[in-house]
């Protein structure tokens, strides 16, 4: 191919990138015009009215225009939130900001690529306004912080953004994969009485342990090798403890997060009074605050190194032969796991990135 022809193709590609959004907007406008005419002819056509409101709200990112088509038969969420959105972000009262942020975030799911970014930016603005107005350090603030983190990550489109792996597929090396999205509570909860102990709220998992019992759940990816794991959690209460189970070769370890005793790295099966292995510390957790746990497991032959940070601060530094760990927990099936004792806990993120070795998704 000649240099001249190559240059022509590059210019054509650049023009297409610039023109494509304009063509899409033109097509949307044409569709809205046709739907508006259909609605004028038959004002009680709820299907047409809902599509008009959706197109204006999502694809054109124009809630003020969408508000002009509100009426009988409109979806309840649009009827509730479009008038508020039409007033602008700076007019939203504190409590409404969280609801509007969640709503816009939900709209991003089925939107076109361009509209998806617009919906996420709207969500980000409402979450940020809530945080600016809401000074109390409580659960609502923690939930908003967690939601804002996820929206920023989605908008950033960084290489580290978490993907979802299809069932039976091997996870790609070097790419973050969302584990929470793959959980089926009925199949993955490994507690003796799982019903009601784990609940899904949006994209988060909520653990509701019995008062004097633990409840654990496996995240359905079988891991064999070296990896990084990031977990974000909120403790509603600070009594009891939270566990993060780590597959380590043919064995298992457990990151133990406890207010009442020394936190650290524990073997999978110990008495609660046993001292933790690794670098144990007395930690003081606060209720309704987001904590980020970053773990790195490096397996080299028979040796293993496990490091863990909490909110970026070193917590565990542990290296030894695998034989120093307890045996594999069969109920975990070689998977990462989460659990809690007496501590109602919200898990807002659990993502995995393979460094070396293999990890296979058991379900999407």
- Can you tell me the mean pLDDT for 87-98? 91
Q: Which two tokens stand for residue 270?
A: 């110990």
Whether residues 249 and 352 fall in one domain: yes
Q: Is residue 284 part of a domain?
A: yes
What is the secondary structure of 211-260 as a DSSP string?
TT-EEEEEEEEEEEEEEEEEEEEEES--SSEEEEEEEETTEEEEEEEESS
Q: Is residue 338 part of a domain?
A: yes
CB-based contact 178:165 (threshold 8 Å): no
Q: Which residue has the higher pLDDT, 87 or 302?
A: 87
pLDDT at 267: 64
**pLDDT tens-digit series, residues 249-307:** 878 888 989 877 778 787 644 444 444 455 566 778 888 889 999 999 999 888 889 99
Strand partners, 345: 207, 235
Tally of domains in the chain: 2
Question: Could you tell me the CATH number of the domain that includes residue 329?
Answer: 2.60.120.200
pLDDT at 159: 41
Whether residues 148 and 273 fall in one domain: no
Q: Which two tokens stand for residue 188?
A: 């993955």
Contacts for 271 with CB less than 8 Å, ≥ 6 apart: none
Q: Is residue 165 part of a domain?
A: no
Whether residues 206 and 342 fall in one domain: yes
Whether residues 199 and 149 fall in one domain: no
Query: Percentage of residues in the chain with pLDDT exceeding 90?
Result: 39
Whether residues 133 and 181 fall in one domain: no
pLDDT at 76: 95
Whether residues 131 and 270 fall in one domain: no
The Cα–Cα gap between 316 and 146 comes to: 24
Whether residues 207 and 120 fall in one domain: no
Whether residues 353 and 206 fall in one domain: yes
Query: Percentage of residues in the chain with pLDDT exceeding 70?
Result: 82
b/e code 313-326 from CB counts within 10 Å (16+ = b): eebbebeeeeeebb
Which residue range(s) make up the domain with 289? Answer: 177-361
For residue 77, pLDDT over 60 is answered with yes
Q: Is residue 164 part of a domain?
A: no
Q: Which domain-ending residue is among 95, 127, 156?
A: 156
Whether residues 147 and 183 fall in one domain: no
């Amino acid at each position: 191919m000649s240099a001249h022809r190559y240059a022509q193709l590059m210019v054509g590609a650049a023009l297409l990138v610039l023109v494509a959004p304009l063509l899409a907007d033109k097509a949307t406008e044409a569709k809205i015009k046709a739907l508006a005419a259909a609605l004028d002819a038959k004002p009680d056509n709820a299907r047409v009215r809902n599509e008009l409101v959706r197109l204006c709200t999502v694809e054109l990112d124009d809630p003020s225009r969408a508000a002009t088509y509100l009426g009988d038969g409109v979806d309840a969420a649009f009827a509730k939130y479009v008038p508020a959105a039409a007033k602008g972000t700076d007019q939203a009262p504190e409590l409404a900001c969280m609801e509007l942020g969640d709503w816009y975030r939900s709209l991003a799911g089925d939107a076109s690529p361009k509209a998806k970014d617009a919906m996420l930016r709207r969500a980000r603005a409402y979450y940020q306004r809530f945080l600016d107005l809401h000074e109390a350090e409580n659960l609502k603030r923690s939930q908003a912080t967690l939601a804002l983190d996820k929206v920023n990550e989605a908008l950033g489109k960084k290489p580290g953004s978490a993907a979802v792996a299809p069932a039976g597929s091997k996870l790609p090396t070097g790419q973050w994969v969302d584990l929470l999205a793959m959980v089926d509570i009925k199949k993955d909860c490994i507690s003796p009485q799982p019903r009601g102990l784990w609940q899904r709220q949006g994209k988060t998992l909520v653990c509701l342990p019995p008062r004097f019992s633990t409840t654990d759940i496996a995240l359905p990816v079988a891991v064999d090798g070296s990896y990084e794991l990031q977990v974000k959690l909120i403790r509603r209460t600070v009594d009891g403890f939270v566990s993060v189970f780590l597959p380590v070769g043919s064995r298992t370890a457990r990151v133990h997060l406890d207010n009442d005793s020394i936190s650290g790295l524990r073997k999978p099966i110990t008495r609660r009074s046993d001292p933790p292995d690794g670098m144990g510390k007395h930690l003081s957790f606060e209720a309704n605050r987001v904590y980020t746990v970053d773990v790195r497991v490096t397996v080299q032959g028979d040796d293993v190194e496990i490091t863990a940070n909490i909110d970026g601060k070193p917590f565990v530094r542990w290296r030894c032969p695998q034989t120093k760990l307890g045996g594999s927990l069969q109920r975990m099936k070689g998977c990462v796991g989460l659990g809690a004792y007496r501590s109602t806990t919200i898990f807002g993120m659990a993502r995995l990135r393979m460094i070396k070795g293999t990890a296979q998704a058991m379900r999407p």
